[in-house]
A and B are shown apart, each in its own frame.
Chain A
Amino acid sequence: MFPDRRQRSFLDPGVLSRLAGFPLFARRPMLGTVSGRHPSPHRGSSVEFAEYRKYVPGDDLRQLDWRAYGRSDRFFVKEFEADTNLRCCLVLDTSGSMEFGSHRVSKIEYARRIAGAIAHIALQQGDAVGLSCVARGVVRNIPPRRNPAHLTSVYDILEQTQAKGETQLVPVLHELSETIRQRALCIILSDLFVEPELLRGCFQHLRFRRHDVAVFHLLDPRELSFDFRRPMRFLDMEGGPALFAEPNEIAERYHKALGGYLDELRQVVLESAVDYHRVSIDDDYEQVLMRFLVGRARSKGAR
C-alpha cells in the first residue's frame, strides 16, 4: 500500500502492525473531502438515519419518503448522516529544548516516533495527514493530503528536522489556528515550556476554529525528578543565559515551580477540552499511543 520502503529510525514495523487494529477517531465532527469513518457536520448518504425534514421544492424526489406520504399525506425528505475523512495536522515543536534527553532518546526523537506512527495510522484509514514543524515560527509545513505517497514526504521532513532555536509556540499556534482549514485534528507534540496562561489563548483559538486538539506533553524524567547531586552549571538549550545552581539548595523550589506549572497546565487543558497526554520520554511510546487511541475511541465524538 505504501510506496516508502526505506528504513526510518523512528519507525518500528512491529509497533505499527500492532497499532493497526486501533483506529484513530475524532472527538468532534470533521470536515473531510471524501467519505471516511469520521462523523461529518453535513447530511450524507450513510446508512445511519439522521432525521425527517419537510420537502421543499428543489429537493431530490428520490429522497422523498413515500411511506410517510402514504400515512400522513404530506411530503417528507428522509436524511442520513454523512461519513467523512479527517485532516490530521501534526504540529511538531522543533525548538532547541526538544533536543534534551537524559536517557536513550531525546524529546524530538520521541516526538518523531509518535508523529510517524500517527501519520501511518491516519493514512492507513484514509485520512489526510499534514506536518508543521514549529520553533520560532513555522519552520517546515506540509499540508494534509491523503495520498499514500504523501507519507514519504512527511517521513522525510520528520527525519530531516533538527531541534534548534528558541520557542515561540504561542504565536505559532495562533497562526496555525488560522491557516489550517476548519474542523481538523491538530496533534501538538511539544515540551510546552510556555506559561500555561498563554497556552490557554492558543487552545481556545484552536477550539474556536472547531479543531479537535490533542497534545503530547513530552517531558524528560530528569526534568521531573531533578536528581542532581553536585553543583551544576545549566546552559540554556535555547540560547538563554546560563545559570549556576546548588541542586540541594534549589531542588525544592524547582519542584515547587514545576508542580505549580503542571497544575496550572492541567487546569488550562481541562477548560480548553484538549486531549492532553503528559508523557515521560522513558515511557514506551507504543503504550502511550495505545492509551491515546483507546481514549479517543471511548470519547468518539457526537455529530
Chain B
Amino acid sequence: MSFLQPMLLAALPLVALPIIIHLINQRRYQTIRWAAMMFLLAANRMSRGYARLRQWLIMAFRMAVIAGLVFAISRPLAGGWLGLAAGNRADTTIVVLDRSPSMQQAGASGVGSKLETGRRQLVRTLETLGSAHWVLIESSTNRPRELESPAALLTAPSAEPISASSDLPAMLLAARDYIRANKSGRTEIWICSDLRENDWNAESGRWQSLRDSFLEFSQGVRFHLLAYPQTAPDNLAVRVTDVRRQQAAEGAELLVSLRLSREGGSEARESIPVHFEIDGARSELTIEMTGPTFELKDHRIPLERSHVRGWGKVSIPADANPADNDDWFVFDEPAPRRAIVVAEDPLAARPLQLAAAIAPDSLVKCSAEVVATEALAAVEWEQVALLLWQAPLPDADTAKRIAGFIERGGQVIFFPPRNPGPAGFQGIQWTAWTDRSEDVPVESWRGDQDLLAQTQSGGPLPVGQLQVRKYCGLSGELTALATLRGGATLLGRVTTSAGGAYFCATTPAVGDSSLATNGVVLYVLVQRALAQGAKVLGNTRELTAGDPAGEDPAGWKRLTGAEEALSTDYPLHRGIYRSADRLLAVSRAPAEDLAPVLADGRVAGLFRGLDLTRIDDRAGNLSALIQEIWRLFMLAMMVAMVVEAGLCLPRRRQPGGTS
C-alpha cells in the first residue's frame, strides 16, 4: 500500500480516539443506590461471551471508521509493490527505457507491444505519483534527456522502438552520472525492460561499480523495475547468415543462407513461407520447420548477369514479434582483400604473407605485400583490409595512422618483435620473451566468437594442436582469445569502437611456434581478419543497428526500411540506406535472436543492497499498475459505520418478558 499524501497518515493515532473516549467515559461514571442488586450480581456471574465480543466489535468498527477516513484522505494507491515510501513525491524521476527489438513482442491478445504497454503504464503511473523533474534515458544514445511531463513518453520519437540492442549498465551509468552532476534530491529510477540477457549484460563488471556508486548516494535512490519477462514460444526470428553472388551458366545467381529460430524451442512441424525481395523483385520459398532452428544454406536466386550490386530482404509471416520477422542484406562483387605485412623477421614474414595472399575462394582476390616500416606513409590505407605487424610497436605518426586505419574498420594483428621496446599501442606493451625448452600447448580458446571461432560446420579449429616454444609477454588490458598452459595469453584483442586490433604472443617463425608448420590456424586467423577488414572496403556494407562502425549517417538516404525513423536515427533502424554510392544494410543485433530472459534471482542479485521494487507486467495489459482507491476506503468506512450502528442497536426484548 502506498499513499499520495502520506503526511496525512500522521493522523492515524486518531484511531485510538474511541478507546480514549471509552476510558474517559468510564471515569465519568454515576453513582446510584440500587435495590435490585441480585440481578446485577447474577448478570455479573453470567458468561460475557457475546456481550464482550459485541463491545469489542463496536470498538473495532469505530476505530475502523476513523482509520478508513484517514486512509481515504491520504489517497491510497492500489499496487502494494510500490512500497510505503513511494508516496513521497520524488525530486527526480529517471525513466530507463529499453527500446530493443525484443520489446516489440506483443502480448497473447496481440494488442500492444511490451514497449508500448510499458510506456503507457509508465505514463499513467508516473502522472499519478508526480515528480519535480522527469528524465528519459533511452537505449539508443544512453544520454539523459529532460522531459516536460511523463506524457511525452507516448509521443517522443526517442521512445519509439528501434532495432538496436540496449546496454542497461551503460544506461544506469548515465543515470548515475546525471544524479551526480545535477545533485538531485530523492530520485526514483524506473526501468522498463524485458530482461533479455543481451541487453542486461549481467556478467559485466560495471554492475558492481554501479551498485557501489548508487549506495554512496545519500539522498536515496529507489529502483522500480517494470519487467516484461514473458516470452512468446511460437515467435520465429529470421536472419540472413550469408549472401554471395556468383556467376552461373545462364547469368548470375545469389546464394542466400539464412537461419530461422523458434523462441520456445518447440519441435512441432510447421510450414513457413519465406519471402525474398531482391531490389523489389519478390519470390517465395516454403520451409518445413521441425526443430527449434532451421538453417537454409545457399538458396539460389537467379539474377541477371548485369545485376552486380543490390539489396535484398527476407521476411516471414507476422507473429508475436514483428521486429524479427525480416532481415536485410546487400550484395556486391567481393572487394579485393589486400593485406600489408610489416615484419622485421623474414622467417615470420613469409608465412604471414602466404596466409594472407592465398584466396579461400576463386571469386575472391587476395594479395599481400611486405612493406618496410619507413614505406608505410606511402601505403593507400583506404584499400587495405589487414595489417600484419611483426616489428616494434609503432610510435608517433605511424601509430596515429594505424589507429585511424582501425577506426575506419581495418584489422591489425601484432606479432612480437625480437627485442621488445618500451613502446606501447593502445595501452598494450610487449614485455619479455619466454623461452621454454619444451613445447607449450594452448590450454583454452574462445571457440564461440571472433578469430578462433568454430568452423561453419560446427567443428573446432585445431588450436589445441599448436605448440608454442617461445612467446612474448603482454601487459595492458585486453580480452584473451587463447591462453597457453600456465596462463600466458597467446592471442588477445584490444577493445575498439570499430575495426580490430589483435595481439599474438608468438610469431609464425619455426623456432617460435608451430603456427606456420601447422598452418590451418594461422591461415584461418589471417583470412578471417582479412575478410572482416574487407567488409568495410567494398561498395556495400552490412551494419548492425546502433553501431555505425565508423560510417557517417549524416549523408544517408533511406532506400527501404522503417518509414517512421528520423533521418538522424537511421543507424538505429533496420533497412537499406544509400551513402554516396555505397549501399548499407542495417540489421538488428545478432544477440537479439533467442536471447534468454534473466532469471529472477539474477536480476535481484544485480540490485543487491539497493532499494528495488519489481513489478511483472505483461504486454497488452490494459489495467493500470496503480490506481487511487480512496473510494474503496470511503466505502469501507461507511460499511463500518453501518455495522457499528447495527451493533449498537439495543436488542429487541422478549415480548411479555420483563415489562
Contacts and interface: CB of A to CB of B under 8 A. Distances in A.
Chain A CB within 10 Å, residue with most, of B38, B650, B653, B659: B38
Contacts of B41: 243
Contacts of A99: 33, 35
Contact of B36 (A96, A223, A251): A223
Given A253-B44, A259-B657, 17 more contacts: A100-B36, A191-B35, A223-B39, A231-B26, A231-B28, A233-B29, A234-B34, A235-B32, A243-B44, A246-B55, A250-B44, A255-B653, A257-B38, A257-B42, A258-B658, A259-B654, A259-B658
Contacts of A262: 657-658
Contact of B31 (A232, A238, A240): A232
Contacts of B37: 193, 234, 236-238, 240, 243
Q: In which size bucket is the chain B interface?
A: 20 to 34
A255 B26 CA distance: 22
B580 interface: no
| Listed residue (A96, A219, A231, A262) with the most chain B CB atoms within 10 angstroms of its CB | A231
A252 B34 CA distance: 17
B26 A245 contact: no
A270 interface: no
A98 B46 CA distance: 26
B39 A100 contact: no
A258 B29 contact: no
Contacts of B269: none
Interface string B10-51: 000000000000000110111111111111111110101001
B44 to A, nearest CB: 7
B183 interface: no
Given A220-B35, A234-B34, A252 B651 contact: yes
Given A224-B658, A233-B32, A256 B46 contact: yes
Contacts of B44: 243, 245, 250, 253
B335 to A, nearest CB: 98
Contacts of A10: none
A258 B39 contact: yes
Interface in A63-105: 96-100
A255 B55 contact: no
Interface string B618-659: 000000000000000000000000000000001101100111
A287 interface: no
A232 B39 contact: no
A249 B29 contact: no
Given A235-B31, A253-B48, A257-B43, A248 B657 contact: no
Q: In terms of DSSP, what is the predominant structure of the interface of chain B?
A: mixed
Interface in A244-287: 244-246, 248-259, 261-262
5 contacts: A100-B35, A223-B39, A240-B37, A243-B37, A259-B658
B30 A230 contact: yes
A261 B39 CA distance: 8
Nearest to B659: A224
A249 B31 contact: no
A208 B659 CA distance: 32
A119 B33 CA distance: 31
Contact of A249 (B34, B38, B48, B654): B48
A232 B32 contact: yes
Contacts of A223: 35-36, 39
B43 A231 contact: no
A143 to B, nearest CB: 30
Given A238-B37, A245-B44, A258-B658, A232 B55 contact: no
Nearest to A107: B35
Given A193-B38, A223-B36, A259-B654, A250 B43 contact: yes
Interface string A128-160: 000000000000000000000000000000000
Contact of A100 (B34, B46, B653): B34
B29 A244 contact: yes
The 5 A-B pairs at the shortest CB distance, nearest first, are namely A253-B43, A97-B35, A100-B35, A257-B42, A234-B34
Contact of B34 (A224, A236, A251, A255): A236
A235 B51 contact: no
Residue among A232, A237, A253 having the largest count of chain B Cβ atoms under 10 Å: A253
Nearest to B651: A252
Nearest to A260: B42
A227 to B, nearest CB: 9
A254 B31 contact: no
Interface in A97-120: 97-100, 107
A108 B530 CA distance: 127
A259 B39 CA distance: 10
Contacts of A107: 35
